Structure 1
């Protein structure tokens, strides 16, 4: 049995994301005073009195005649979230009263025919909240519930009532579904959402040629050949100097959080511009967080000739000097070229990231390295490596026990990593090297 779903809906700027953050006890939902900040529907885990459920934060529903280029798509995404939910929370702004937009949204939600709570938000003074409630009865949703998402007034009683509507949870258990988490990352407008939709075969993300369209990270689970993949389409990660709106900064933070929980990162690069410095920084973010990495050279079909294609590959080689192990694939998210091959690359990178090497094999390699004689010398001190063992996976982590840890230079680390990769592979995944004093007792992680 899956967890119950609660959708938070309403017109723009009534405090939906603030309420989501309050109920989920998180700060992941983007909050900003601008209209239309939340565009796609986003999912958050929440729990109340031992009952786990999923919150959906939806975009602000605007009138049918809105001038906003995204309004129709946002409205469709919000209504899809409402259809998916077991309970709907319709949020209105108590500080301004009923608006035509509220009436329009209420009519749409009533057609969904799901249990709905009408939440009158921004009533920050409980002593005077009754003065503003009466007019909201006109929406025909039922008794208005006064709350303050900012201060938390009324949210506890609300959750009590919401949880009471959930189906019986007998036999409901939180289990790891074993899915492989794959984050689609990259600069804005590189084609991430187009690729995301091509992979899953549905318009799950809003696709537009306006950079920065995806402002939230959203998940979709796909099953192929008996294996489950959790795909995360993230907001484009911009240079800080070009983040003119605070909401773009928060989107970048959400993208980084998506990387934090990913097993494999698909870095989508716009081949028409090649791999840029910012692409390199995004790749480094994924590597630092231990993600396996696959480089997808998107829009490859748009390159006019061999010279242009060679230029792109030169930019990749130049920008990935610290990660030559990353695998790459030339694709077109628009036409579908080589998109099917992505799964093979994901599987291979994930397998390398989870790989385990026996201690005996590692120490045979260590013996060969000692016999080769390459080491570090500082005056009378010489670096000696006595023993190595694998102390972690995802990514593979190796601990070397040495006589002088301070002698381990960056160049020597690279030498050791290259020897490990030559001997055992690890294509597509970063590896971690740790050096400990020889009297430190080995401990398997």
Structure 2
């Protein structure tokens, strides 16, 4: 699993100050971390793999900072007592071309350059290339973004636009507030020649799409479906959990869409494809806002809860809107499940290299499908609504889900779900005695 994340303190807020200059050009950056010590600290770590480090201060005093791989080890001038609030300021040069590669669905992550700017793909642990951070999926904090751009360029980030201030030299500073605490992997900031397309979702929800100016017309048909998608998901999962939503169109060959909080990013190709494929991606990222974003995972081995739910609702929606029948999709997944277990681990037992393999997507959606077959559709729907309601804005893991499912169903589902989530072999599918698993190819 990714080893990022540090103890000894909790972050109360990140403030990012970026002085953007031009595509692919390094720029001056400063991150302020407002934190509280949970133990006495003579030193502490931040996750940081960015470009040139300049200065680090703690409480306004110069601190000693040493880079150790992807860790920034900070020794303040004076120890920090337990319970004390403190402020860290890190000045550095950011490199908007910095990326790393994975051998699974994520492929490239970090900064993702576009023709006139950037988007970011921080999942799973790429935020450290963008700013110094305490990066773990269970750790969330509010973020203030202050991004200065040249004339003609816009900036966007998670949350609400607080201020757009033009400076005497014509440059513009864009200030955004995330409104809700956000995990580092779900952070988004983008710069480019954007059009902002506003519409209203269910119950007056503000929906704002951020689109490269040359792609507004060509992507409108699929983007305009967001209100329908919100209504469909709210019928199944309850009220949308954030104050606003939108789609950021990435003018990039980014290989995957990403559920960045309240502002999902989709590469242009996803929105220029046919309606069935486009809607699958749009619904998948929107479903994540409930499962994975509002209900955050406790540890990386709980990723099946995030990706499995998003894929399940994507498949369910597509079934009802001209796509592949969900039973056919799940039967295909069932046939391959032993092979996926062999290649990528059981749904709740990934390894770091296999974290975003197909087992965490269709393989984990199959677990939810099996649960629905076991308890019936009505009980399953109550489990799902209870899950996102009870843990809204909180962190939860596999044990929490198993316990809640058992409570709602009125029976102990631990043996059933553990066999699906951890077993070496795929269990029988309830109600489908004719379904068979293909032999493993070694």
Is the TM value for this pair above 0.5?
Answer: no
More strand by share: 2
**Greater Rg, structure 1 or structure 2?**
1
TM-score (norm 1): 0.31
Structure with more relative contact order (C-alpha pairs < 8 Å, separation 6 or more): 2
TM-score (norm 2): 0.31
